[in-house]
Amino acid sequence: MKKTVVFLGVAIALLAGMSPAFARGSGEKKVTIHFFTGRVETVDWTDKVIADFEASHPGIKVEQEYQKDASNAIKVKLASGEIPDITTVVTQDFIDQGIYMDMSGLSYWNRILPSVKDLCTDLKSGKQYKIATNVTVGGLFYNKKMFSDLGLKDAQTWAEFVSNLEKIKAAYPDVTPLFLGGHDSWTLGHLVEFWVHGIVKQKYGIPGSRKLFLDNDKNSLAWDAPGGIMESFARDLLELRDKGLINDDAVSATYDNQKEAFASGKAAVINQGMWVVGDIIKLNPAMKANIGFGPFPPIMPGYRPMVLSAEDSVYAVAAKTAHKAEVMEFLDYLFSPEVQRSYSLARGMPSAFTDAQADWGPIKDDVAKTVGQYVNINFSTEAPSGLSVDDTGRMIQELLLGKFKKPADFAKAYEDLWNSAY
């Protein structure tokens, strides 16, 4: 009798076009997909997308896990055999270990900008193990009114940059010229990624620098070279500290403090990417028309200002996921034009999907001008996975706190940290 009832239940489910696995109602166990991320700005947005997806896909549950230091947290997960089905944390080392699924043949690429596909292509294999949904730009955000009142322009050299900050300090004594949110160490780590690695990328070009990082070409990189780029960076940053051009609490101030200071007009300049714009406007809608965007000035003579212009919001799928079909259903939903248009608006950055374009933000004209005028650099995705931007940021915390007696000591410590990460 029991067998007959089960058989009839399966038959009815098949006639209704449903999978027998989901035909037994709310008591049926759902398939759970684990999504691991380090993007603090997108946690709430993703929660809403997940809720909408689960409402239309009752047999699939998506669990989002956010970790502040995601680059290191995922290493612990992998070491214990806990591999997320989907993650935003992608490194060359993990690609080499075969952790991610080959996504080269997926149809999404037909809708994605060719330049973004190129940046997502693994140099070793020529395949794509990650998909980027957006294009991001990083540089220096500045208070337009303050710059206009003082007649300031984008600094073309380090000396001009220091001069701009000094003029701001003199005219607005209650305003921090350059506000650093160093408690969240990745914000400091980005200074090396853009200001230091950017020199390498400018000197050797994007393909060339990617290969140098990948091969750890010590002669070309030479982080500890006397008078080199890393020593110059440390010297220049300490100059800003010693002249009072950065906030006194640069090491303890948080990323939220940085955003709040800029949104309230208490900071004239901050180093960030486009991901910060939406939060600033939420904090102070009046800032919508007062956010300027410019490049990073070169820390060494003979180079041009630089702006990050790269892939953003990457996703990778575990090669050995037990739920590939369900993962792809979620990605189909996540990468749909409507959802990606929403994401573009929420993040304030252009979409990499050609069918998801939107009026994404008030700085789009400044971004277009800056990207077109200055040297474009990318994220250091081929840097050693053992060295995260948080790790680098913690070194800069120590630099600002006086741990290193001289800039050359910092450069040597970075060289050692970089090499040990391989």
Mean pLDDT, residues 22-49? 83
- Domain carrying residue 205: 136-310+363-420
Give the type of residue at 87.
Answer: T
| Residue found by looking up tokens 């995601």 in the block | 70
- CB-based burial, 318-328: b 16+ in 10 Å, e otherwise: beebebeebbe
Q: Say yes or no: 111 and 182 in one domain.
A: no
pLDDT value for 16:
46
Q: What is the largest CA-CA distance in the chain?
A: 89
Whether 353 is covered by a domain: the verdict is no
Quote the pLDDT of residue 422: 84
Pairing of strands 306-317, 375-377: parallel
Residues 104 and 143 in one domain: no
Pair 114, 41 in one domain: yes
Eight-class DSSP state of 239: H
Q: Helix or strand or coil: residue 151?
A: coil
Q: Rounded CA gap, 66 and 89, in Å?
A: 11
CB 134 within 8 A of CB 308: no
In a domain, 234, yes or no: yes
In this prediction, residue 27 carries a pLDDT of: 53
Contacts of 292 (CB under 8 A, 6+ apart): 141, 142, 143, 144, 147, 363, 366
Based on the fold, state whether residues 44 and 170 are members of the same structural domain: no
CB 188 within 8 A of CB 397: yes
Q: Does residue 327 sit within a domain?
A: yes
- In the block, which residue shows the tokens 């739920």? 323
Q: Are the CB atoms for 74 and 37 separated by under 8 Å?
A: no
At 156, which amino acid appears? Q
Give, as one character, the DSSP assignment of residue 353. Answer: B
State the CATH number of the domain containing residue 321. 3.40.190.10
Instruction: List the Cα angle 364/272/281 in 5-degree steps.
Output: 60
* Whether residue 129 sits in one domain with residue 46: yes
Residues 210 and 86 in one domain: no
Indicate whether 74 belongs to any domain.
yes
Same domain, 214 and 125: no
| Closest of 159, 161, 177 to residue 169, by C-alpha | 177
358 part of a folded domain: no
How many domains is the chain partitioned into structurally? Answer: 2
Residue 354 banded pLDDT, cuts 50, 70, 90: very high
Residues 338 and 391 in one domain: no
The tokens describing 328, both together, are 């792809």
pLDDT of residue 22: 44
Statement to judge: residues 108 and 129 lie in one domain: yes
Tell me: the pLDDT tens digits for 56-100?
Answer: 999 999 999 999 889 899 999 999 999 999 999 998 889 999 999
Residues 159 and 244 in one domain: yes
β-pair partners for 273:
138
Residue 130 lies in a domain: yes
Closest among 117, 96, 299 to 199, alpha carbons compared: 299
Q: Are residues 305 and 319 in the same domain?
A: no
Residues 256 and 182 in one domain: yes
**pLDDT tens, position by position, 286-303:** 999 999 999 999 999 999
**Average confidence (pLDDT) over 28-43:** 91
- Are the beta carbons of 327 and 62 closer than 8 angstroms? no
* 3-state DSSP assignment of residue 406: coil
Q: In whole angstroms, what is the distance from residue 166 CA to residue 181 CA? A: 20
How is residue 351 annotated by DSSP? Answer: B
Using one digit for the tens of pLDDT, what is the confidence trace for 192-215? 999 999 999 999 998 899 999 999
C-alpha dist (Å) from residue 280 to 246, 263, 275, 295: 20, 5, 10, 19
Amino acid 28: pLDDT: 61
- Inside any domain, residue 70: yes
Average pLDDT, the chain: 92
Cα separation of 86 and 355, whole Å? 23
Cβ-Cβ contacts under 8 Å for 197 (sequence gap 6 or more) = 209, 213, 377, 380, 383
Position 67 in a domain: yes
Half-sphere exposure of 111 (CA within 13 A, CB side): 17
Per-residue pLDDT band for 7 (boundaries 50, 70, 90) equals very low
Q: How far apart are CA 158 and CA 47, in angstroms?
A: 42
Query: Taking the complete model, does pTM exceed 0.85, yes or no?
Result: no
